[in-house]
């Protein structure tokens, strides 16, 4: 299929992009940000998304900058997954980015696009929640910061307004970390992802949004063994089954992957 007709604007600045999105909303039309296009363009082609206006942010200056300041990696919205995979300031983020799709997808897809798209199987949202990342958002009312845990509300749903643009994401760098995921084929979306970042344990693929395991983190903070932490995490899980994996299979995967991530983080 071909996309439904849309207008196209190549924004030169964040202000121009936000103004275009806001004017769309005011007219009762739908505007959408176009970043790497790796999720949006397939949705357009399938006519599952039919925006009136695409606001292309790829030429907005300074949106692809990455900087490490006081133990926090600040990642510009347009930072490609391949750039994240290649940086050395946040090794957990680099490892997670290497698991995203294939080289062609990693060379176009962006960090902010992944968070805005809010796929519960995607790697970067789980890392963001594990690291207590903070998302910088610009809208007509100005700039606001959103904790990653408050960004996601459901599969492909977030608290972003239609006229808001993510400009950067700040990821605190953990000292101890572990990352483990399982996908049916190399490059597929993960069935389950487990991330350990210092005392935090986060999972993807077991709920509608990336989840933190409060019970697992309590046991970890109390000096629990890998096995004890895994038991606590699994007691908290309520995965649902779908076409790709049954609920018991996702639970078994979570147990295995949390164990691997904990061991990688140095827990015994
Ligand atoms: C074959 C294939 C395999 C893939 N495998 C994986 C995988 O294993 N793991 C994974 O995580 N992802 C995977 N992806 C998705 C990929 O990571 C996308 O890059 C990502 O989900 C979206 O980023 P994007 O820059 O391409 O965003 P786009 O497709 O341009 O946009 C996606 C959505 O986010 C919005 N958006 C984008 N940028 C912003 C912004 N700055 N502010 C506000 N809203 C914004 C858009 O309006 C749109 O709604 C895969 C994609 C394909 C095609």
201-249 residue pLDDT tens: 999 999 999 999 999 999 999 999 999 999 999 999 999 988 899 999 9
Q: Where in the chain is the domain with CATH 3.30.465.10?
A: 66-172
Phi, psi of 235, rounded to the nearest 5 degrees: -65, -25
Residue 80 per-residue DSSP state: B
Mean local confidence (pLDDT), 84-102: 97
Lowest mean pLDDT among 23-32, 155-164, 166-175: 23-32
Q: Which two tokens stand for residue 109?
A: 């897809």
CATH number of 66-172: 3.30.465.10
Count of CB atoms within 10 A of residue 133's CB? 26
pLDDT of residue 62: 87
CATH class of 7-56: alpha beta
Confidence of residue 187 (pLDDT cuts 50, 70, 90): confident
3-state secondary structure of 134: strand
- Number of H-type helices and E-type strands within the chain: 10, 14
Q: pLDDT by residue (tens digit) across 3-15?
A: 999 999 999 999 9
pLDDT of residue 26: 86
Q: pLDDT by residue (tens digit) across 33-71?
A: 999 999 999 999 999 999 999 999 999 988 999 999 999
Query: Which of 113, 127, 165, 186 to mutate to test ligand 1, by most ligand atoms within 8 A of the CB atom?
Result: 113
38 CB near ligand 1 (under 6 Å): yes
Residue 21 CA to ligand 1 center (angstroms) comes to 18
Rounded Cα distance, 23 and 119, in Å: 27
Q: Where in the chain is the domain with CATH 3.30.390.50?
A: 177-264
Residue 105 CA to ligand 1 center (angstroms) comes to 9
Name the average pLDDT for the chain.
96
CATH number of 177-264: 3.30.390.50
Question: How much is the pTM?
Answer: 0.97
């Amino acid at each position: 299929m071909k996309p439904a007709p849309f207008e196209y604007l190549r924004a030169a600045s964040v202000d121009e992009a936000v103004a275009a999105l806001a004017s769309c909303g005011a007219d009762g039309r739908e505007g959408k940000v176009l970043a790497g296009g790796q999720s949006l363009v397939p949705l357009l082609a399938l006519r599952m998304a039919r925006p009136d206006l695409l606001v292309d942010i790829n030429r907005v200056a300074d949106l692809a900058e990455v900087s490490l300041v006081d133990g926090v990696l600040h990642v510009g919205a347009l930072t490609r997954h391949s750039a994240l995979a290649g940086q050395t300031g946040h090794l957990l983020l680099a490892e997670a980015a290497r698991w995203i799709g294939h080289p062609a997808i990693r060379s176009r897809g962006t960090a902010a696009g992944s968070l805005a798209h809010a796929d519960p199987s995607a790697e970067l949202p789980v890392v963001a929640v594990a690291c207590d990342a903070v998302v910088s958002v610009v809208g007509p009312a100005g700039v606001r910061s959103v904790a990653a845990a408050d960004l996601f509300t459901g599969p492909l749903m977030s608290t972003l307004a239609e006229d808001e643009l993510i400009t950067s994401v700040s990821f605190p760098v953990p000292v101890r970390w572990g990352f483990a995921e399982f996908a049916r084929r190399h490059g597929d979306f993960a069935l389950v992802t487990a991330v350990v970042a210092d005392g935090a344990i986060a999972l993807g693929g077991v709920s509608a949004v990336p989840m933190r395991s409060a019970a697992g983190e309590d046991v970890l903070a109390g000096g629990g063994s890998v096995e004890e932490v895994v038991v606590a995490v699994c007691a908290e899980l309520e995965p649902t089954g779908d076409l790709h994996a049954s609920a018991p299979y996702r639970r078994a995967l979570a147990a295995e992957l949390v164990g691997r991530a904990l061991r990688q983080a140095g827990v015994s």
